[in-house]
């Protein structure tokens, strides 16, 4: 049964591990809890590996499918399956979960079991989102995964966590409800909740526009696209390090994935019709948000804005409707998962020592933390899109693709070369370089072994995919081709 249930295992192994952690959790003996959580996350990662090794790269359709009746009266199925878009994101999720568990190791002293369990369960639910092929199943995972995130921010978050959580909640709730309405409508039209059936469903343009808008509200908030992005900086600032990592590395990708899985293939004519506005919003994200990032005084806010700006490349790549752009968008998602995760971990390393995220409280960290600075500069360079790091690949592909659509799109997108470097390296200069800024910086201890391993693994990923990104595009290639072929066909009846 394990052969055919890889996806179920990928979802439920971390969830069960999370429940186990909760059950055995004991704040008196947090060591055991941590080890169980770590082993659970490793098991969770291992069960997802066959998705990579056994994935048929020539097949652009859904693989590893599983289907059971769930609520027969409404034709709702427990139907799982993945294509080349979902597999890299699932692997990113299970990988990030291990990182997050390790990152919270000694840092979290309060309610360790609940903390670890939240991330494990969240991991399973997010993999569920990426592998659900039934609308309602997707919706259930989609909503359920938010709950652990609310808890993570609400319980282990910073002083203003309640505001941040509510803002996050309201933003996402508003979007998700419209998506549910869209699903109900589609069910009404097709008597099915199968996503694949929706792909085949002819729809007039007016309806497609409505469907697209409903999905747009759900997904644009998640990415987040300008102007529905303001929840993200607040959520990041209040979230504990692990929360920020998952938020940036995976949750943001859910929005882009949603466009690829639902909004675009279900309403392809609307997607084409609205391509220009979507590109404009993406470019606003790239340029406007980069300027905003430049003005930030708080490291986490700066990286949060940087994330929004980088996600602009993803949506830009998707709505150019060419293979280079779309694959560039996917590569950008994966790469951003590593880089933004690493950047937030770096801030976490500093925050754990100094309890401040303000750039002005630092200066000359390199003098006391040389190894850490080497990592931080590497990730900063990756964030600034330096070739040889994964940060370059997606941006490069999307910019090249944008030239083919319209020179000026590429022109605006390419400003990230300057602006991205400006806000990232200016922060690096103020935090890491210079003479020792104050007595607290003078007492900083360099990375411990655990932190070294975490950042080292991420550095290998960032460099590895920078020097050889082919493994990602090999996975996505057939699916992107198939999707673009699908998108090129009108679904308007008549």
Partner 1 sequence: MTEIQKIYLLIPLLPLFAAAVVGLFGRKLPRAAAHLITIPAVAAAFGLSAYVLIDVLQGHLFNGTVYTWLISGGTNFEVGFLIDQLSATMMVIVTFVSLMVHIYTIGYMHEDPGYSRFFSYISLFTFSMLMLVMSNNFMQLFFGWEAVGLVSYLLIGFWFTRPTAIYANLKAFLVNRVGDFGFLLGIGMVLYYLGSLDYAAVFSIAPQFADMKVSLIPGSEWSLMTVICILLFIGAMGKSAQVPLHVWLPDSMEGPTPISALIHAATMVTAGIFMVARMSPLFELSTTALSFVLVIGSITALFMAFLGIIQNDIKRVVAYSTLSQLGYMTVALGVSAYSAAIFHLMTHAFFKALLFLAAGSVIMAMHHDQDLRRMGGLRKYLPITYLTSVVGSLALAGIPPFAGFFSKDAIIEAVHASHIPGAGFAYFAVMAGVFVTAFYSFRQLFLAFHGEERFGHNHDDHEGDHDDEEVSADHHHGLAPGQKPHESPWVVTIPLIFLAVPSVFAGLLYIEPMLFGGFFGNAIVVRPEHDVLHHIGSEFHGWLPFALHGLTAAPFWLAIAGIASAWFLYLKRPELPGVIQSKFMTIYRILDNKYGFDSFNERFFAGGARYIGGKLWQVGDVKVIDGFMVNGTARLVGRISAVVRHLQSGLIYHYAFAMIIGAFVLLTFFMKI
Burial 40-57 (b: 16+ CB within 10 A, else e): bbebbbebbebbeeebee
The DSSP secondary-structure symbol of 491 reads -
Shortest Cβ 425–partner 1 spacing (Å): 6
Burial 87-126 (b: 16+ CB within 10 A, else e): bbbbbbbbbbbbbbbbbbbebbeebbbbbbbbbbbbbbbb
Position among 23, 360, 418, 460 found at the interface with partner 1 (CB under 8 A) = 418
CB-wise, 103 or 381, nearer to partner 1?
381
Sequence-separated (6 or more) residues with CB below 8 Å from residue 253: 89, 92, 333, 336, 337
Contact call for residue 52 and partner 1 (CB under 8 A): no
Distance of CA 431 to the CA centre of its chain: 26
Write out the E strands in 390-432: none
Task: Indicate the helix (H) or strand (E) that contains 438.
Answer: none
Contact call for residue 401 and partner 1 (CB under 8 A): yes
Position among 12, 273, 291, 452 found at the interface with partner 1 (CB under 8 A) = 291
Query: Of 62-70, 153-161, 190-198, 417-425, which part binds partner 1 (CB under 8 A)?
Result: 417-425
Nearest in space to 125 (alpha carbons), one of 297, 254, 267: 254
CB-wise, 158 or 323, nearer to partner 1?
323
Contact call for residue 381 and partner 1 (CB under 8 A): yes
CB-wise, 230 or 358, nearer to partner 1?
230
CB-wise, 125 or 285, nearer to partner 1?
285
- Cα separation, 397 vs 445, whole angstroms: 40
Shortest Cβ 235–partner 1 spacing (Å): 13
The DSSP secondary-structure symbol of 306 reads H
Phi, psi dihedral angles at 194 (to 5 degrees): -70, 125
Partners of 215 in the β-ladder: none
CB-wise, 101 or 292, nearer to partner 1?
292
Position among 15, 129, 254, 414 found at the interface with partner 1 (CB under 8 A) = 414
What x/- string results for residues 3 through 42 when contact with partner 1 is judged by CB under 8 A?
----------------------------------------
Q: With contact defined as beta carbons under 8 Å apart, do 4 and 19 qualify?
A: no
CB-wise, 188 or 449, nearer to partner 1?
188
Contact call for residue 194 and partner 1 (CB under 8 A): no
How far from 450 is each of 94, 101, 396, 429, CA to CA, in Å? 19, 11, 33, 26
- Residue listed under structure tokens 């940036």: 248
Contact call for residue 296 and partner 1 (CB under 8 A): yes
CB-wise, 122 or 207, nearer to partner 1?
207
CB-wise, 22 or 374, nearer to partner 1?
374
Q: Are strands 63-71 and 76-82 parallel, antiparallel or unpaired?
A: antiparallel
3-state secondary structure of 132: strand
* Helix extents (H) in 74-200: 86-103, 112-131, 135-144, 146-156, 161-190, 195-200
The number of residues that bind partner 1 (CB under 8 A) is 66
DSSP for 201-220, written as a single string:
----HHHHHHHHHHHHHHHH
CB-wise, 79 or 477, nearer to partner 1?
477
How far from 446 is each of 27, 65, 309, CA to CA, in Å? 28, 47, 31
Contact call for residue 408 and partner 1 (CB under 8 A): yes
Phi, psi dihedral angles at 293 (to 5 degrees): -60, -35
CB-wise, 66 or 481, nearer to partner 1?
481
Shortest Cβ 386–partner 1 spacing (Å): 6
What x/- string results for residues 141 through 170 when contact with partner 1 is judged by CB under 8 A?
--------------------------x--x
Position among 39, 155, 422, 492 found at the interface with partner 1 (CB under 8 A) = 422
- Cα separation, 492 vs 166, whole angstroms: 40
CB-wise, 30 or 329, nearer to partner 1?
329
What x/- string results for residues 348 through 367 when contact with partner 1 is judged by CB under 8 A?
----------------x-xx
Contact call for residue 75 and partner 1 (CB under 8 A): no
Q: With contact defined as beta carbons under 8 Å apart, do 219 and 255 qualify?
A: yes
- Residues 307-326 interacting with partner 1 (rule: CB under 8 A): 322-325
- Cα separation, 22 vs 16, whole angstroms: 10
Shortest Cβ 403–partner 1 spacing (Å): 3
Shortest Cβ 312–partner 1 spacing (Å): 14
Query: Of 78-86, 116-124, 257-265, 381-389, which part binds partner 1 (CB under 8 A)?
Result: 381-389
Contact call for residue 184 and partner 1 (CB under 8 A): yes
Contact call for residue 452 and partner 1 (CB under 8 A): no
- Residues 430-449 interacting with partner 1 (rule: CB under 8 A): 432-435
Binding site for partner 1 (CB under 8 A): 167, 170-171, 184-185, 188, 207, 210, 227, 229-230, 288, 291-296, 322-325, 327-328, 364, 366-367, 377, 381, 386-388, 392-393, 396-397, 399-404, 407-408, 410-411, 414-415, 417-419, 421-422, 425-426, 429, 432-435, 467-470, 473, 477
């Amino acid at each position: 049964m394990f052969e055919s249930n890889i996806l179920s295992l990928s979802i439920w192994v971390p969830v069960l591990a999370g429940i186990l952690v909760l059950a055995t959790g004991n704040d008196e003996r947090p060591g055991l809890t941590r080890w169980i959580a770590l082993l659970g996350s490793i098991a969770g990662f291992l069960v997802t590996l066959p998705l990579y090794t056994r994935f048929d790269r020539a097949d652009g359709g859904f693989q590893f499918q599983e289907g059971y009746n769930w609520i027969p009266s409404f034709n709702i199925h427990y139907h799982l399956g993945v294509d080349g878009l979902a597999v890299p994101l699932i692997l990113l999720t299970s990988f990030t979960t291990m990182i997050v568990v390790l990152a919270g190791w000694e840092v979290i002293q309060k309610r360790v079991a609940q903390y670890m369990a939240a991330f494990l369960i969240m991991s399973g639910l997010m993999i569920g989102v990426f592998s659900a092929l039934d609308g309602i199943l997707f919706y259930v995972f989609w909503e359920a995964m938010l709950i652990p995130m609310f808890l993570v921010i609400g319980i282990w978050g910073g002083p203003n966590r309640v505001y941040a959580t509510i803002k996050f909640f309201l933003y996402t709730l508003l979007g998700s409800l419209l998506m549910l309405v869209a699903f109900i409508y589609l069910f009404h039209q097709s008597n099915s909740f199968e996503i694949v059936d929706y792909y085949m469903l002819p729809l007039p343009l007016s309806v497609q526009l409505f469907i697209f808008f409903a999905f747009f509200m759900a997904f644009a908030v998640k990415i987040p696209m300008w102007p529905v992005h303001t929840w993200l900086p607040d959520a990041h600032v209040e979230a504990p390090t692990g929360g920020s990592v998952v938020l940036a590395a995976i949750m943001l990708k859910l929005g882009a994935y949603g466009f690829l899985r639902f909004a675009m293939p279900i309403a392809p004519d609307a997607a084409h019709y609205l391509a220009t506005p979507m590109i404009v919003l993406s470019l606003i994200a790239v340029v406007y948000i980069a300027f905003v990032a430049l003005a930030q005084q708080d490291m986490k806010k700066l990286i949060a804005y940087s994330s929004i700006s980088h996600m602009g490349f993803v949506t830009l790549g998707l709505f150019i409707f060419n293979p280079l752009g779309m694959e560039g968008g996917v590569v950008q998602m994966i790469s951003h998962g590593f880089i933004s995760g690493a950047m937030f971990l770096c801030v976490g390393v500093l925050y754990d020592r100094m309890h401040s995220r303000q750039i002005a409280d630092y200066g000359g960290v390199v003098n006391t933390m040389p190894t850490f600075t080497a990592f931080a500069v590497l990730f900063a360079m990756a964030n600034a899109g330096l070739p040889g790091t994964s940060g370059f690949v997606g941006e490069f592909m999307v910019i090249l693709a944008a030239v083919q659509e319209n020179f000026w799109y590429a022109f605006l997108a390419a400003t990230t070369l300057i602006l991205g470097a400006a806000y990232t390296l200016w922060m690096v200069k103020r935090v890491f370089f210079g003479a020792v800024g104050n007595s607290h910086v003078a007492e900083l201890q360099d990375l411990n072994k655990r932190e070294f391993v975490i950042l080292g693994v991420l550095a290998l990923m960032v460099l590895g995919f920078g020097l050889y990104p082919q493994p990602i595009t090999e996975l996505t290639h057939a699916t992107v081709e198939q999707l673009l072929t699908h998108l090129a066909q009108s679904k308007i009846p008549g």
